[in-house]
Amino acid sequence: EIVMTQSPATLSVSPGERATLSCRASQSVSNNLAWYQQKPGQAPRLLIYGASTRATDISARFSGSGSGTEFTLTISSLQSEDFAVYYCQQYNNWPRTFGQGTEVEIK
């Protein structure tokens, strides 16, 4: 099973600042990596797939990069609606596995 490790667990950021979230895979997943956003009481929402492709209707504030085992999600200028938990997920191998999440909170 591929283990996905996200860091940090919590990221405190002021509105308007940049946020950088990391995700590491225990073995290569090529670019088969997605990022999801989850707000309290809501289902996850797909943000990024293929490591760097924004999903439909996702703001250009969100960008993804990386391949192999190291990946990054960047939120260029945090808006109030961006404070949430973010998960990475690999879909290169079975079982599909998620990282433990990074909570982006208001500083």
Partner 1 sequence: EVQLVESGGGLVQPGGSLRLSCAVSGFTFSNYEMNWVRQAPGKGLEWVSYISGSGSIIYYADSVKGRFTISRDNAGNSLYLEMNSLKPDDTAVYYCAREAVADRFDYWGQGTLVTVSS
Binding-site ranges for partner 1 (CB under 8 A):
32, 34, 36, 38, 42-46, 49-50, 55, 87, 89, 91, 94-101
Q: Residue 79 gets which letter from DSSP?
A: -
Nearest-CA neighbor of 73 among 28, 1, 7? 7
CA atoms within 13 A on the CB side of 81: 4
Q: Chain centroid to CA 46: how far? A: 9
Q: Which is nearer to partner 1, 4 or 78 (CB)?
A: 4
What is the spatial distance between Cα 53 and Cα 7, in angstroms, rounded to a whole number? 21
Tell me the two tokens of residue 5. 């490790």
Q: In angstroms, what is the minimal distance from the CB of 99 to partner 1?
A: 7
Q: Which is nearer to partner 1, 13 or 55 (CB)?
A: 55
Q: In angstroms, what is the minimal distance from the CB of 54 to partner 1?
A: 12
Tell me the two tokens of residue 10. 């919590």
Q: Which is nearer to partner 1, 68 or 101 (CB)?
A: 101
Q: Which is nearer to partner 1, 22 or 91 (CB)?
A: 91
Q: In angstroms, what is the minimal distance from the CB of 24 to partner 1?
A: 15
